[in-house]
Structure 1
Amino acid sequence: MNTKAETFSDKLLGFTVPDRSARGRMVRLDRVVDEVLAAHDYPAPVTHLLEEALVLTALMGGLLKADGEDAQLTMQAQTKVGAVSLLVCDYRAGALRGYADFDSERLSELGANPTLPALFGEGYLAITFETGAGQRYQGIVPLEGDGLAQACEAYFSQSEQIPTLIRVASRSGGKGGVAAGLLIQHLADGEEGRERLHVRMDHPDWEHVATMAGSISHDELLDKELSLETLVWRLFHEESEVRVQSGSELSRGCRCSAEYYASVLSRFPEGERDEMRNDSGIISVDCAFCAKTFELSV
């Protein structure tokens, strides 16, 4: 496996193991996760949840074949009865954003390390792929298991019938947080873009790949001194061929702007806009993702 420039943080890495019909994505978020979380003063359990969600969103967004401005991956977890009522993250052309809404009082009753069911109750996870070519498809699965990664594995198994293994790790620390993850899949035909026939969750090649990939440790994923290429090599150096491909540079990307909201508001009838105005004739619009307020006089 030869590489010209190694990948460490805030950039996706794609790889394939051709003889095993496997493809994967790996990412480590450093500056990006700090910038997204800085918009709100989240308590520790929500911070950890968002770190995991941002990694998963980047990994799944990296599967989009078209990485243009209109191609997007959105992950949304929602419930009406949990301490966390809403979690939403999306990926578009390397830009990541995320937000969580929660009940502080209910969250404080759950202790330091609440489980996923404790946070959401009987919630659901919706994953939406938009290809940018007018195609949009969505899968919805229950929020079950030890974490969001397991719910995402269930999505690929149930909605797309693709054997998938995901590992996520995070370490919070003020402005020194880091979160990382690995996603690997088995494509039965050994080639992306072809119809997957006779998918077997117990295929010998997949069992081998899943065992190797599953051996990666949290410390390895979070070690900013280890390149992602090094981690892929540690896992699969015994294979006859491993191909790596550098993916998108990642950044915190909120698409809010005064111009955008003015354009949206202009579509409302004048009477409805009048009802939105304050005593000074201004319409205030809050962006949940970046915690900015836009004062508009449209």
Structure 2
Amino acid sequence: MSDDDLNPDETGFDRILQFTLTDRNARGRIVRLGPVLEDILEAHDYPPVARQLLSEALVVTALMGALLKGDGSQLTMQAQADQGAISLLVCDYRDGELRGYLQHDADELVELGATPSLEQLFGAGHLAITFDLATTGQRYQGIVPLEGASLTEAVEQYFAQSEQVPTILRTAVRPGHGGSIAGGLLIQHLAEGEEGRERLHVRMDHPEWEHVAVLAGSTREDELVDPELGLEALVWRLFHEENEVRVEKGAWLCRGCRCSVVHFEEVLARFPKEDRQDMRDEHGIIRVDCAFCSREFEIED
């Protein structure tokens, strides 16, 4: 089913929907990835478990990236392991561009079966989330252990520990021969309901937040990945008893890859001439692989 099959006022695939519960001092983001997700996954021959994990990570990255303000700002999420079937997972979001990649041991993934735990996938790993703000040039990074039943739970712990912002995060992935679908919901309690004001309380047990958390926590996985259910309809289903729910369509999403010959020439120019000489093949060409898009670039130095 395509976006055209939905009510024209309903948001379907590959676009962020922003919403605010004005009386509850809460803001949220919701997204459902479709064609963009499949474009990213198809860049590599990932086994099913790896596709599932990367799909979840891309949904989380899109939701967090949609919190950024100002063109050029970037959100990067990286999970790295000391041991485990997954050695590296990295995703980023900038101006609606979404990309992701993971390194894995295919044989180990097969041995883990269809539903491995986060610990089995990564071992004693850690999760790093970085915000690069274009408007101020500042960078903020939080690092937390990769703990919990899923990557989604680990990110919730990041918000609780590093950001100290009450946050509910729900994700779901539906693989399929016609293309994978992944959806997610993120909702947060704002300090006194206003961004930019002094944070007067950070309470997970605040009555307003407890009410919102119960409603948001009732989101079902099948609702997040149902292509016949528009995102506005899902927000209404969850919060229709509230006095006011403001919704606004956010960024369209696309598969991002910022690789180009010019980019790699600029990067290579920072290396000493001797190092660049060692990188050349017998034809004098430096070959650079892009992990995100699985393309090879030939650089004549």
TM-score, normalising length from structure 1?
0.96
Out of 66, 75, 78, the residue aligned to residue 76 of structure 1 is 78
Q: Which amino acid aligns with 2:267?
A: V
Alpha-carbon separation, structure 2, partners of 1:177 and 1:81: 28
Provide Cα deviations, 1:151-183, integer angstroms capped at 9, x if missing partner: 111111111110000000001124411000000
Matched position secondary structure for 2:215:
helix
Q: Which amino acid aligns with 2:23?
A: D
Q: Which amino acid aligns with 1:120?
A: F
Alpha-carbon separation, structure 2, partners of 1:73 and 1:289: 16
Alpha-carbon separation, structure 1, partners of 2:64 and 2:198: 19
Q: How much has 1:129 moved relative to structure 2? A: 0.7
Q: Share of identical aligned residues, percent?
A: 62
Out of 52, 57, 60, the residue aligned to residue 64 of structure 2 is 60
CA distance 1:185–1:284, change in 2 (3 Å): same
Matched position secondary structure for 1:109:
helix
How is 1:21-32 mapped onto 2 (pairs within 5 angstroms)? 21-32=25-36
Q: How much has 1:216 moved relative to structure 2? A: 1.2
How is 1:1-298 mapped onto 2 (pairs within 5 angstroms)? 5-66=9-70, 68=71, 70-132=72-134, 133-298=136-301
Q: Is the 8 A contact 1:82 1:119 kept in 2?
A: yes
Alpha-carbon separation, structure 2, partners of 1:158 and 1:195: 19
Alpha-carbon separation, structure 2, partners of 1:27 and 1:111: 29
Provide Cα deviations, 1:237-259, integer angstroms capped at 9, x if missing partner: 11110001110000000111111
Matched position secondary structure for 1:114:
coil
Matched position secondary structure for 2:114:
coil
Q: Which amino acid aligns with 2:80?
A: Q
Alpha-carbon separation, structure 1, partners of 2:182 and 2:8: 25
Matched position secondary structure for 1:34:
helix
Alpha-carbon separation, structure 1, partners of 2:265 and 2:205: 53
Q: How much has 1:289 moved relative to structure 2? A: 0.5
Q: How much has 1:5 moved relative to structure 2? A: 3.0
Q: Is the 8 A contact 1:168 1:218 kept in 2?
A: yes
Alpha-carbon separation, structure 1, partners of 2:199 and 2:153: 22
Q: Is the 8 A contact 1:73 1:129 kept in 2?
A: yes
Q: Is the 8 A contact 2:170 2:186 kept in 1?
A: yes
Greater shift, 191-200 or 137-146, is seen at 191-200
Alpha-carbon separation, structure 1, partners of 2:198 and 2:43: 42
Q: Which amino acid aligns with 1:101?
A: Q
Count of matched residue pairs:
294
Alpha-carbon separation, structure 2, partners of 1:15 and 1:129: 22
Runs of 4+ in 1 over 4 A off after TM superposition: none
Match of 2:3 in 1: none
Q: Is the 8 A contact 2:191 2:197 kept in 1?
A: no
Q: Is the 8 A contact 2:54 2:100 kept in 1?
A: yes
Alpha-carbon separation, structure 2, partners of 1:104 and 1:195: 48
Q: Is the 8 A contact 1:34 1:175 kept in 2?
A: no
Matched position secondary structure for 2:258:
coil
Consecutive unaligned residues in structure 1, runs of 5 or more: none
TM-score, normalising length from structure 2?
0.95
Matched position secondary structure for 2:192:
coil
